[in-house]
Amino acid sequence: MTANKDVTPVTELRVPSSKGATAVEVRLRRSAVQLFAEKGYAATGIRDIARATGITSATLYHYTSSKEALLMDIMRDGHRALTESVQRQLKSSDLPEERLGILVGGLAAAHATNPLSTRVVDSEIRALAIGSDARTEIVMLRDHFESFWTKVLSEGIKEGVFTIDDEHLTRLSLISMCTGMSYWYRPALGHDLVQLATHFSDLALGAVRAQRNGKAIRGRDLRPLRIDLVPILDSEPPHI
């Protein structure tokens, strides 16, 4: 269970699994995500990460500059993948009800397929010192992502499709409903992703009282949600 101290030296296959990352780098990232999600960033030591990766803590520093850099990479990639996915899909519709479905369904699906990394992305800002450059950067990424929600909600209100008492309250409620998934949802329970995303989308449409011509809008009135989010890190690494 440690490393491969076998007869064949194996020579650490150089076949890159994705974007030029070596096998060790991929394992390192996956170990960090796993442990950060499980025990939290502060409670995870670099020795824990190294052990889970199969290297020593010294070797770890050959692949990353610091424990914080490890966290920052995870958070940056997580935000980037989510924002790109949302930005791409939002171009497919001008209807506020469909656009809200894309946001809610996409965020829910992202947390369902990547419960570990999303949990780290969502909850470990606290690990970054208040006022630090790192924290400022992540907060900016988060604010940018949330700006899409603000925009879609206000568009829906302007077009008379949504009825919302408190925009601020509603936006944060909907987002935290999706992000909360990563605390209890575990994949491979036989759930269909599209069905799950539609379930959350329906809930959101009910929350904003979405309607046209006096008739409430449900998920079935929308074009079926397309799940195109690339799994970030939780999924198994590609076989080599």
Partner DNA sequence: TTTTCCCAATCGATCGATCGATTGAGTTGT
Partner DNA sequence: ACAACTCAATCGATCGATCGATTGGGAAAA
Interface with DNA: number of residues (CB under 7 A): 24
Q: Which is nearer to DNA, 133 or 166 (CB)?
A: 133
- From the list DNA, its own copies, none, pick the one residue 213 interacts with, judged by a Cβ distance below 5 to 8 Å according to partner type: none
Distance of alpha carbon 117 from the chain centroid = 6
Q: Give the CA distances from residue 206 to residues 38, 109, 202, in Å, rounded to whole numbers and listed in that order.
A: 33, 19, 6
CB 28 within 8 A of CB 115: no
Q: Which is nearer to its own copies, 26 or 145 (CB)?
A: 145
Q: Which is nearer to DNA, 27 or 111 (CB)?
A: 27
- Kindly state the smallest distance separating residue 54's Cβ from DNA, in Å: 7
Sign of the dihedral through C-alpha 45, 46, 49, 55: negative
- From the list its own copies, DNA, none, pick the one residue 126 interacts with, judged by a Cβ distance below 5 to 8 Å according to partner type: its own copies
Query: What is the SS3 string spanning the chain?
Result: CCCCCCCCCCCCCCCCCECCECHHHHHHHHHHHHHHHHHCCCCCCHHHHHHHHCCCHHHHHHHCCCHHHHHHHHHHHHHHHHHHHHHHHHCCCCCHHHHHHHHHHHHHHHHHHCHHHHHHHHHHHHHCCCCCHHHHHHHHHHHHHHHHHHHHHHHHHHCCCCCCCCHHHHHHHHHHHHHHHHHCCCCCCCCCHHHHHHHHHHHHHHHCCCEECCEECCHHHCCCCCCCCCCCCCCCCCCC
Site for DNA in 30-89 (CB under 7 A): 44-48, 55-59, 61-63, 65-68
- From the list DNA, its own copies, none, pick the one residue 169 interacts with, judged by a Cβ distance below 5 to 8 Å according to partner type: its own copies
- Kindly state the smallest distance separating residue 33's Cβ from DNA, in Å: 15
- Kindly state the smallest distance separating residue 24's Cβ from DNA, in Å: 5
Q: Which is nearer to its own copies, 61 or 183 (CB)?
A: 183
- From the list DNA, its own copies, none, pick the one residue 22 interacts with, judged by a Cβ distance below 5 to 8 Å according to partner type: DNA
- Kindly state the smallest distance separating residue 6's Cβ from DNA, in Å: 13
- From the list its own copies, DNA, none, pick the one residue 180 interacts with, judged by a Cβ distance below 5 to 8 Å according to partner type: its own copies
Where does this chain bind its own copies (CB under 8 A)? Answer: 38-43, 123, 126-127, 165-166, 169, 172-173, 176-177, 179-181, 183-185, 191, 196, 199-200, 202-203, 206-207
Q: Using CB under 7 A, list all residues that contact DNA.
A: 3, 9, 11-12, 14, 22, 24, 44-48, 55-59, 61-63, 65-68
